[in-house]
Amino acid sequence: MEGWGQTRYGWFLGYDRTYSSSADPQSALGKPLAVGSLAADKNEIPFGSLVRINSLPPPWNNQLFVANDVGSMINQKHVDVYCGTGSAANAQTMQITTDNVRLCQSGPVRDS
């Protein structure tokens, strides 16, 4: 719905001071977004933090999100959840869009 957009040719177009293309939508870290990626204010929720949002409807209430993205509309009281691409992902986005929820944050993800 925002950020990278999929073209009719199947590749993605993004903008961060300049336009660029990719086979996948990219996070602020330049890595492909995955379902469960979370865009957050990195001053509030540092990159790599694990976050759970228990008040979301199932199965999203059990999803462990990873803070690995930022966005132009992100601030201290707003996060974005990446649900994927296509109409089914758009429907999921609409289902979980809400106000006034609490986030449960734990430590950063450790690379193996």
Flag whether 17 is in a domain.
no
Residue 82 lies in a domain: yes
pLDDT reported for residue 109:
60
**Which residue did the predictor score with more confidence, 14 or 74?**
14
Q: Residue 108 — very low, low, confident or very high, per pLDDT cuts 50/70/90? A: low
> What is residue 52's predicted lDDT score, i.e. its pLDDT?
93
The answer to whether residue 48 is domain-embedded is yes
Q: By residue range, what is the domain housing residue 98?
A: 28-106
Is 9 a domain residue?
A: no
Question: How many other CB atoms are found less than 10 A from the CB of residue 69?
Answer: 24
Is the residue at 23 inside a domain? no
Q: What pLDDT is stored for residue 2 in this prediction?
A: 62
Per residue in 44-94, pLDDT tens? Answer: 888 899 999 999 999 999 999 999 998 766 666 788 899 998 899 999 999
Residue 112 pLDDT class (50, 70, 90 cuts): very low
Q: Give the CATH number of the domain where residue 48 resides.
A: 2.40.40.10
Asked, for residue 14, whether it belongs to a domain, the answer is: no
Pairing of strands 65-69, 80-81: unpaired
Q: Is residue 21 part of a domain?
A: no
In a domain, 63, yes or no: yes
Instruction: Classify strands 65-69 and 19-22 as parallel, antiparallel or unpaired.
Output: unpaired
47 and 40 in contact (C-beta within 8 Å)?
no
Tell whether the model's pLDDT for residue 7 goes beyond 50: yes
Provide the domain count of the chain: 1
